[in-house]
Structure 1
């Protein structure tokens, strides 16, 4: 059972920073770095805009967030929307006005307590989303692990816009064109991560304190430089090569603030920009609320995040991001998962990752460009595997088909379409199963010879109509039937009419038929007694 958020003090956050959150923040930073750049590329926006959004998501949203585990930044699910919006409004500066408006709308939604909408998504769909994203991460990172980097980091849709391939065909192409250097770096990195985690699990302080992701980066850089010296055909390239991290470096002759792009507020008179803002607000809020549910499931302490506070944080974050030239931000499962699996305890890790992104932009870009994407692929593959372990499938299957079918359809939907479409498919199927299951346990038939009681156990909705029809058709001449609706607070209009109209049928067939407390005027909403305030002295 989930518990409410514990009360954190300054000392709690400080100890978390020193023991767990600093290494976790570093690991999340390494994962987020190529994703911020890749999503900016996919969005048709300046590369710096992805990094700016990552910094804002880490620092601003991190401070204000309603969750201790959630990590925010630019989201792959918004890439197509952003790309279309930039094209439609004509300039990136104009698009930024839409990001600011989206933030204002999200802020309003948070103040209006709209966060409760996330509770309407079935648990099986949230589990399916986590597993599907884990599988997609693994599938999408295999090409990068093999040295094929035609598709940008952060592309999670099945159909790839970057090179016209899809997830499966891209893997096939990667196997055909595999680079021995990338294969060695990714294989060594995976082995190092697995071994590092096992030794940390045995209590070795060195391996628990120092993040394995950082060692993977050092090993990846070292191996690539050794290839340059001794095996040039395996060398992945220099800092400007597509197989490497490519952080734009601020020109020496330009001020540091030159990386920022500012919105053109003269576009407020353009109706299109208001539509862009509303669209981003709705999609970003939905993705954030779903990811927050996922973050709570991943959190070992089972804390309950404040969805309303998160919408406020996202709103402020998007307003700030839009004002300084960043992409829209949402809570993101990939970074949140990396955060949890890296041992984070509090939001300090999220803030640390944002600070490190800022340092990367302003001070260390040229150094970080020596990191091969293949070693970062190994880190992400480990995150993906932890999200989609085989035991999760078995656990959900043991919960019954009414849980497993929405779960597996969500998984397949996300893998073969994209995140939002897959979640929609799973949610629709999940709700149908809930309604169907409820409809199967609403009526109980008690038979004692010719005396038959049809007892309505709870509220009757339209899905129960077929079941009641079947029961009524089994009645025989001479039966004495009572339909008892005492326990139902609500009876669907069509069902009420059907039960009432059966009176004539029963009379014609020689059936004694009585309706007991089957009342049309019963409300679908139960009466709620006012809460009395109790003062404790």
Structure 2
């Protein structure tokens, strides 16, 4: 698999890394808070996730760091191991190191293929659900209501409140200063996205989120003594500020390996490894769909990269790491092209902790909330709901169930959505077998490949078809025969449509053979298989 030169797209990657940095900073601190861990542990995980995992990973646009989905597991483990101040965190770090070793083993055993078996309706539901959660969770920060960072995405919170009740209380506790600067920041972002981008190279290099943050800092400094319009320090970023070098070094905590053979520690290690691997593989599948260049991330290499990051994070006092959809989508939407944007965001986190923690602590949370509101909207656009509705009930039901349940619990939403997707597919395909048949010949020096799709092709065939297509060499003539196919799953059609773009870059010519005739290099597989004349043969049901 060919990956672009990471230094080639600095003009795109540097602005994207700044956006990801501003998204990641409060989330690193918030996830540490939700996990019952020291704030510095979240920053360590963010730094290692950016620099180390970003360097080893084969993903061009994925960004790794501490994950909200693991916050409840980590918090419970620290408590069970004795508490934060009684050695519980140091024992947890042993489990984090163990989880990294397990992930590397999973990568070597090629377990990364699991990610390909999630239906696209569930993946899209996960993306939209995350977008809805981001929007709802940031509204209290935008209006200066919530004084705690958002770390756990759970609907029900430890303080007895839930997302909806907090939003309903905004009118009682609204902070005028935080709200005003939040709207100013949101206005700057919309101005940059809808008007200024493309007007001049200056607006491409200096991104809207950076301007919004600078304006937010200036507003806070100028209104510190303004009373009604000032912003309370409770509504600012809170990066740990060491007094000297010794106090900085003292923030690092190290695993207590004397407890490594305890059964409960080993169990937590396996739990973190499995949950982190699943979240990572889901994120990989989702970000590859969002990638405008339709590049494919090697999942086994990703597990090895995540495992390496978790080993190092555990050794120096950091939280467990996964690839994270919030940071990754912010990276994509900000124009990130290569892994350098993820790596640079890690260095920015490191620099902010060492060089300018005091300046970081002047950033209003409402400005960062405005950045995340834009990210959330781009993930949960109303047009996506409309698109999935038009795709038919077999796509819409797993999609909407995932969106709704994800709002209450991440793993519950994905798990139930997957179960419904499997039931729907089994209902459709239980009578027929499914396979992919490929024959290859070389005549007159030209590389020719013929693929004959089976009578019944479902999303269970995604991994096989994707692997065969990605393994095709450059300058190949692909003959795709669908004359025997009675049912072609929507997920497989999407794979073919995505491959169409890759084929152009790899000089692969496609000949589609169907009962309706022969088409050279079809413009859109999605449109082709929706045509009424072919439905009689395909029995293609939306």
1:138 aligned residue: 135
- What residue in structure 1 maps to residue 259 of structure 2? 267
- Residue 201 of structure 2 corresponds to 205
The alignment status of 1:351 with 2:343, answered yes or no, reads: yes
Counterpart position of 1:96: 93
Distance 2:31 2:263 in 1: 26
Distance 2:416 2:164 in 1: 21
Deviations 1:180-213 (A, max 9, x none): 1111111111111000112344342111111111
In the alignment, is the contact (CA less than 8 A) between 2:259 and 2:265 conserved in 1? yes
| TM alignment of 1:164-203, pairs within 5 A | 164-203=160-199
Q: Distance in 2 between matches of 1:441 and 1:61?
A: 42
> Shift of residue 41 of structure 1?
0.6
> Are the aligned partners of 1:31 and 1:376 in contact in 2 as well (CA < 8 Å)?
yes
Larger Rg, first or second structure (1 or 2): 1
Deviation at 1:24, TM superposition (A): 0.6
- Does residue 118 (structure 1) correspond to residue 115 (structure 2)? The answer is yes
Q: Can you give the 5+ residue segments of structure 1 that lack an aligned partner in the other structure?
A: 443-456, 460-486, 488-537
CA–CA separation in structure 2 for the residues paired with 1:458 and 1:342 = 40
Q: Deviations over 1:456-483 (max 9, x none)?
A: x779xxxxxxxxxxxxxxxxxxxxxxxx
Displacement of 1:151 in angstroms is: 4.1
Answering whether residue 222 of structure 2 is matched by residue 217 of structure 1, we say: no
Q: Which moves more between the two structures, 430-439 or 23-32?
A: 430-439
* Corresponding residue of 2:371: 379
Write out per-residue CA displacement over residues 89-120 of structure 1, whole angstroms, 9 at most, x where no aligned residue. 22111110000000000000001100000111
Q: Secondary structure at the match of 2:217?
A: helix
In the alignment, structure 2 segments of 5+ residues that lack a partner are 83-87, 434-454, 458-484, 486-542
Match of 2:427 in 1: 436
Give the Å deviation of 1:402. Answer: 0.3
Q: Distance in 2 between matches of 1:160 and 1:128?
A: 23
Distance, in Å, in 2 between the alignment partners of 1:98 and 1:404 is 39
**Higher mean displacement: 358-367 or 220-229:** 220-229
Matched, 1:63 2:45: no
State whether residues 197 and 207 of structure 1, in contact with CA within 8 Å, keep that contact through their aligned partners in structure 2.
no
**Number of residue-to-residue matches in the alignment:** 434
8 Å CA contact retained: 1:146, 1:175: no
1:330 is paired with a residue whose SS is strand
Moved more, 255-264 or 385-394: 255-264
Q: Tell me, yes or no, if the aligned pair for 2:72 and 2:152 is still in contact at 8 Å.
A: no
* Separation of aligned partners in 1, 2:379 and 2:415: 20
SS of 1:228's partner is coil
Question: Take 1:227 and 1:258, find their aligned partners in 2: how far apart are those partners?
Answer: 35
Match of 1:232 in 2: 227
Question: Could you report, residue by residue, the CA deviation over 1:118-164 in whole angstroms, capped at 9, with x for unpaired residues?
Answer: 11111100000000100110000000000012443223111112x22
- Counterpart for residue 300 of structure 1: 292
Deviations 1:48-103 (A, max 9, x none): 00000000000000001121111000001000000111111221111100000000
Find 2:146's aligned residue among 139, 149, 153.
149
Alignment of 1:244 with 2:239, yes or no, is no
For the 8 Å contact 1:151–1:160, the answer to whether it is kept is: no
SS in 1 for 2:30: helix
Deviation at 1:16, TM superposition (A): 1.2
Distance in 2 (CA, whole Å) between partners of 1:294 and 1:224 is 37
Distance 1:346 1:214 in 2: 20
Residue 401 of structure 1, aligned match among 390, 393, 400 = 393
Q: What is the DSSP-based 3-state SS (H/G/I as helix, E as strand, rest coil) of the residue aligned with 1:269?
A: coil
Asked if residue 29 in structure 1 is aligned to residue 18 in structure 2, the reply is no
The equivalent position to 1:330 in structure 2, one of 322, 333, 352, is: 322
Distance across 1 between alignment mates of 2:245 and 2:207: 36
TM-align CA RMSD: 1.9
8 Å Cα contact 1:199/1:207 also seen in 2:
no
